[in-house]
C-alpha cells in the first residue's frame, strides 16, 4: 500500500484576475482528463486560454479558424454558431447562445470569457497606447524527506526541497506581447535552471504574426510538429481532431518540445505561409563508440537534480527550420509542411531492439500534406508524412453529424516503426508517433436535453517490439460516460474505462518471456450541485483496478466546495480528498 502527502503554496498577482480561466482549466482537467497515462498539460492549457481571453473574439464576425483556437469547441458547435449568425443576424445578447444547437450551459459558460458581441463589420478597437502586465509566482515545498535527499549515492538530489517559478507576461500597445519565465524544480540547485521567453507581434496586414524567442508551431495533425495542450482520446469524440493557432509564443515551463529562434506568419487573401528557424541546447545521454561520440537518448524530463542528470543538461544542440503553407477555403483547407532537424552529433539509440528501424543519423528531412474538408454534415481530415529513408506516417479521420442528437468519429492511423519525429505529437496510444497502427470509433448521443452518452473504442497494434517488450503487441481500449442533469442546479455522471493489452513478462525458468494480458479498469461517479450565491459542491468516488500477474487497486474519495460569485473579486475552493493505491500501476490522476 502506498500513501502520499504533499503541501503546495501558490502566490498569484495579475493585472487582470484570471480566476475565470483557472476555473475553466480546472473543470476541463477534471472532465476531459484521460484516465490513462497521457494527462493534459494544465499549465499549457491555461497559457493558451488566458492569451485568448486577452483578445476576445467578436462572435458576430468570427472566422472558423478563430473559433478553432478554443480547444473545447467541436466542429459541430462552431458551424452551428456561424450558421445561426448567418441566418438570424448578429447576436445581440449572450442569452441567444442557448438557441444554438449543440451548445449546453457548461460550454456557454466556458465560452463567455473569450467572446464579445460587436458589430459584424468591425470589432471595437483598443486604445492605440496602453499596456498590461501580469506576474505569476508559484512556490512549492515538499514537507516529507524523500529518499533522494539522503546524501548517500550519486543519485542523491543536489538541491533543496523547494520549487519556484517566476513568470512575467504583458501586452504593449495593440498586438505586441512578451513573456519571461525562470524555473527551479525540487532538488535542483539553481533558481534559474530553466530560462525562457519571447516577444510576439500580431497584426492585421500581410505579416499577421512575428515571434522572436521561444515559440511553438502546430501543423496538420501533429505528425511533424505540435506543441501545447490537446484533448487526445477524450470522452468527447468530436474533439479529437487537432486544431489551433499555427504560430504562437511558448509559455510553458516544460523544457522540451519547443522552438527557440524566430518565426513569421504571412497572410494574403486565403493563403497563409509560416516560416521558422530554431537553434537550442537540449538534454541527452551521450556515449563513445569507435567512430566517435553519439547520442543514445534525447531526454525530455527537464530535471537536473542529481549529478547524473546535471551532466546531461544541454549537452547537444538541435537546429531546426521549417515552413507551413495553408489555403483557407470555406469547404476545404489543404496544407503542406516541410521540417528539417539537425543534431550536432549522430543519434544512435543503442542495442535496444525497439529502435532497430531507426538508423544512425544527424539530420531528418520530413514532409507532410494535410487537409480538412466539410460537406454538409460530414467532416474529413488527415495528414500524410514522409521522412528521408522511405519512412511514412499517416492519419485519416471523419466526423459525421446525422442529427443534432448523434455524432460519430472514425480515425485510422499508421505510423511506421522507423518514423522518428522530434517535434511530433499525433493522436495515438503513445506520444512517440511511431510503431503504431490503430482504428478509433467514437459516438456521442444526446437523446434528451438532460441525458448525454459518450463512448469510444480504440483498437491498436504495435507492429514492432516496444521498450521492455520482446514481441509485437496489441490492445483494445473502451470508454463510456453517461451524464445526466437532474435539475437546473444538479448534475451527475458515471464514467467507465477498460483497457486490455498484451505484455511480455520475463521468467526465471524459461529462455523466452511469458506473454500475458494486462488489464486496466477505472470507474468514476461524480455529482455536482449549485448551492446558490456563488457556492457549488461536488463529490466523487473513483476506483482503479490493475491486473497482470497480480491485482492491485486504487480508491479515491473527494469533496469540493467552491465559491465563485458572478460579481466580486474574491473566489476560492476547498478540497478534501482521501486516496489509497496498492501500486503505481493502479494510480489515479
Q: Is the pLDDT of residue 481 over 50?
A: yes
Q: Is the pLDDT of residue 36 over 60?
A: no
Query: Predicted confidence band at 37 (pLDDT cuts at 50, 70, 90)?
Result: very low
What b/e sequence results for 282-319 when a residue is b if at least 16 CB atoms lie within 10 Å of its CB, and e otherwise? bbbbeeeeeeeebbbbbbeebbbbbeebbebbebbebe
Q: Is the pLDDT of residue 235 over 70?
A: no
Q: 512-545 pLDDT, tens per residue? A: 788 899 999 999 999 999 998 889 999 999 999 9
Query: Predicted confidence band at 129 (pLDDT cuts at 50, 70, 90)?
Result: low
Check: CB of residue 588 under 8 Å from CB of residue 540.
no
Q: Is the pLDDT of residue 3 over 50?
A: no
More confident call, 90 vs 370 = 370
572 strand-pairing partners: 563
For residue 264, the model assigns a pLDDT of: 97
Query: Predicted confidence band at 2 (pLDDT cuts at 50, 70, 90)?
Result: very low
Terminal alpha carbon distance of the chain: 17
For residue 80, the model assigns a pLDDT of: 87
For residue 14, the model assigns a pLDDT of: 38
Name the grid cell of 416.
Answer: 511506421
Please tell me the least confidently modeled range out of 15-19, 223-227, 292-296.
15-19
Please tell me the least confidently modeled range out of 133-137, 150-154, 263-267, 528-532.
150-154
Query: Predicted confidence band at 153 (pLDDT cuts at 50, 70, 90)?
Result: low
**Residue length, the chain?**
589
Give rounded-to-5 percent helix, strand, coil for the chain. 15, 50, 40
Q: Is the pLDDT of residue 395 over 60?
A: yes
Residue by residue, what is the 3-state secondary structure of 197-224? EEEEEECCCCEEEEEEEEEEECCCCCCC
- Nearest to residue 456, comparing CAs of 424, 429, 484? 429
Burial of 11 (0-12, 13-18, 19+ CB in 10 A): exposed
For residue 13, the model assigns a pLDDT of: 37
More confident call, 133 vs 319 = 319
Out of 65-79, 89-103, 492-506, the most confident range is 492-506
For residue 38, the model assigns a pLDDT of: 47
Q: For residue 576, what is the DSSP state?
A: E
Rounded Cα gap, residues 224 and 269, in angstroms: 26
Matching residue, cell 483557472: 22
Pairing of strands 115-116, 57-58: parallel
Q: Is the pLDDT of residue 453 over 60?
A: yes
Q: For residue 227, what is the DSSP state?
A: -
DSSP secondary structure string for all residues of 363-428: EEEEEEEEEEEEETTEEEEEEEEEETTTEEEEEEEEEEEEETTEEEEEEEEEE-TT---SB---SS
Helices 19-32 and 42-53: angle between axes, nearest 10 degrees: 140
For residue 15, the model assigns a pLDDT of: 36
Report percent pLDDT > 90 for the chain: 44
Query: Predicted confidence band at 506 (pLDDT cuts at 50, 70, 90)?
Result: confident
Q: 11-29 pLDDT, tens per residue? A: 333 333 456 787 788 777 7
Q: Is the pLDDT of residue 460 over 70?
A: yes
More confident call, 36 vs 228 = 228
As a whole number, the mean pLDDT across the chain is 85
Q: 373-384 pLDDT, tens per residue? A: 988 888 999 999
Rounded to 5°, angle at Cα 530 from 524 and 532: 165
Query: Predicted confidence band at 32 (pLDDT cuts at 50, 70, 90)?
Result: low
**Strands (E) located in 463-513:** 473-487, 490-505
Q: Which helix (H) or strand (E) covers residue 7, if one does?
A: strand 7-14
pTM above 0.75, yes or no: yes
More confident call, 53 vs 561 = 561
Sign of CA dihedral 576, 578, 584, 586: negative
249 strand-pairing partners: 215
For residue 272, the model assigns a pLDDT of: 95
Rounded Cα gap, residues 49 and 112, in angstroms: 12
Q: 240-288 pLDDT, tens per residue? A: 888 888 999 999 888 989 999 999 999 998 899 999 999 999 999 999 8
For residue 10, the model assigns a pLDDT of: 36
- Using DSSP's 3-state secondary structure scheme, residue 565 falls into coil
More confident call, 253 vs 508 = 253
Name the grid cell of 351.
Answer: 542495442
For residue 468, the model assigns a pLDDT of: 75
287 strand-pairing partners: 294
Query: Predicted confidence band at 52 (pLDDT cuts at 50, 70, 90)?
Result: confident
Q: Who contacts 426 (Cβ-Cβ below 8 Å, separation ≥6)?
A: 221, 222, 223, 226, 242, 383, 393, 395, 413, 415, 433
Reported for 1-9, long-range contacts at CB under 8 A and 24+ positions apart, including other chains, are: 1/580, 1/581, 1/582, 2/580, 2/581, 2/582, 2/583, 2/584, 3/580, 4/579, 5/143, 5/144, 6/142, 6/143, 6/144, 7/140, 7/141, 7/142, 7/143, 8/140, 9/139, 9/140, 9/141
Out of 8-22, 130-144, 233-247, 436-450, the most confident range is 436-450
Amino acid at each position: 500500500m502506498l500513501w502520499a502527502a504533499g503541501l503546495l503554496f501558490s502566490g498569484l498577482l495579475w493585472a487582470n484576475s484570471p480566476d475565470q480561466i483557472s476555473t475553466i482549466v480546472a473543470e476541463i482537467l477534471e472532465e476531459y482528463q484521460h484516465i490513462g497515462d497521457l494527462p493534459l498539460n494544465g499549465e499549457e492549457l491555461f497559457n493558451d486560454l488566458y492569451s485568448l481571453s486577452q483578445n476576445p473574439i467578436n462572435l458576430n464576425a468570427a472566422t472558423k479558424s478563430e473559433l478553432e483556437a478554443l480547444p473545447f469547441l467541436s466542429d459541430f458547435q462552431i458551424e452551428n454558431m456561424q450558421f445561426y449568425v448567418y441566418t438570424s443576424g448578429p447576436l445581440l445578447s449572450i442569452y441567444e447562445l442557448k438557441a444554438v444547437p449543440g451548445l449546453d450551459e457548461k460550454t456557454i459558460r466556458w465560452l463567455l470569457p473569450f467572446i464579445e458581441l460587436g458589430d459584424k463589420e468591425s470589432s471595437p478597437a483598443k486604445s492605440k497606447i496602453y499596456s498590461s502586465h501580469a506576474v505569476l509566482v508559484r512556490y512549492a515545498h515538499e514537507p516529507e524527506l524523500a529518499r533522494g535527499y539522503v546524501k548517500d549515492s550519486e543519485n542523491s538530489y543536489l538541491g533543496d526541497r523547494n520549487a519556484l517559478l517566476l513568470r512575467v507576461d504583458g501586452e504593449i500597445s495593440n498586438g505586441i506581447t512578451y513573456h519571461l519565465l525562470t524555473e527551479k524544480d525540487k532538488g535542483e540547485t539553481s533558481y534559474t535552471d530553466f530560462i525562457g521567453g519571447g516577444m510576439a507581434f500580431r497584426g492585421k496586414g500581410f505579416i499577421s504574426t512575428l515571434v522572436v524567442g521561444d515559440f511553438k508551431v502546430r501543423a496538420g495533425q501533429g505528425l511533424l510538429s505540435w506543441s501545447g495542450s490537446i484533448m487526445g482520446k477524450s470522452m468527447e469524440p468530436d474533439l479529437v481532431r487537432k486544431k489551433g493557432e499555427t504560430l504562437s509564443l511558448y509559455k510553458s515551463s516544460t523544457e522540451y518540445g519547443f522552438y527557440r529562434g524566430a518565426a513569421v506568419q504571412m497572410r494574403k487573401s486565403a493563403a497563409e505561409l509560416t516560416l521558422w528557424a530554431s537553434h537550442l541546447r537540449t538534454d541527452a545521454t551521450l556515449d563513445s563508440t569507435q567512430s566517435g561520440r553519439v547520442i543514445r537518448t534525447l531526454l525530455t524530463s527537464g530535471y537536473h537534480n542529481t549529478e547524473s542528470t546535471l551532466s546531461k543538461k544541454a549537452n547537444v544542440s538541435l537546429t531546426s527550420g521549417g515552413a507551413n503553407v495553408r489555403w483557407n477555403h470555406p469547404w476545404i483547407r489543404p496544407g503542406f509542411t516541410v521540417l528539417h532537424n539537425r543534431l550536432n552529433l549522430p543519434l544512435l539509440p543503442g542495442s535496444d531492439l525497439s529502435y532497430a528501424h531507426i538508423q544512425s543519423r544527424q539530420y531528418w528531412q520530413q514532409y507532410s500534406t494535410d487537409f480538412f474538408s466539410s460537406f454538409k454534415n460530414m467532416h474529413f481530415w488527415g495528414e500524410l508524412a514522409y521522412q528521408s529513408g522511405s519512412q511514412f506516417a499517416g492519419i485519416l479521420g471523419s466526423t459525421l453529424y446525422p442529427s443534432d442528437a448523434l455524432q460519430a468519429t472514425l480515425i485510422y492511423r499508421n505510423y511506421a516503426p522507423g518514423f522518428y519525429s522530434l517535434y511530433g505529437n499525433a493522436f495515438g496510444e503513445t506520444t512517440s508517433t511511431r510503431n503504431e497502427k490503430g482504428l478509433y470509433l467514437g459516438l456521442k448521443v444526446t437523446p434528451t436535453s438532460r441525458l448525454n452518452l459518450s463512448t469510444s473504442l480504440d483498437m491498436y497494434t504495435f507492429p514492432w517490439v516496444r521498450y521492455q517488450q520482446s514481441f509485437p503487441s496489441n490492445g483494445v481500449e473502451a470508454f463510456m460516460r453517461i451524464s445526466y442533469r437532474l435539475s437546473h442546479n444538479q448534475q451527475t455522471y458515471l464514467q467507465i474505462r477498460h483497457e486490455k493489452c498484451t505484455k511480455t513478462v520475463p521468467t526465471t525458468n524459461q529462455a523466452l518471456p511469458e506473454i500475458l494480458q494486462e488489464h486496466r479498469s477505472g470507474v468514476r461517479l461524480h455529482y455536482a450541485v449549485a448551492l446558490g450565491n456563488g457556492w457549488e459542491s461536488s463529490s466523487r468516488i473513483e476506483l482503479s483496478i490493475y491486473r497482470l500477474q497480480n491485482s492491485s487497486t486504487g480508491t479515491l474519495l473527494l469533496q469540493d466546495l467552491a465559491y465563485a460569485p458572478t460579481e466580486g473579486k474574491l473566489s476560492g475552493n476547498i478540497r478534501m480528498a482521501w486516496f489509497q493505491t496498492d501500486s503505481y500501476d493502479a494510480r489515479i490522476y
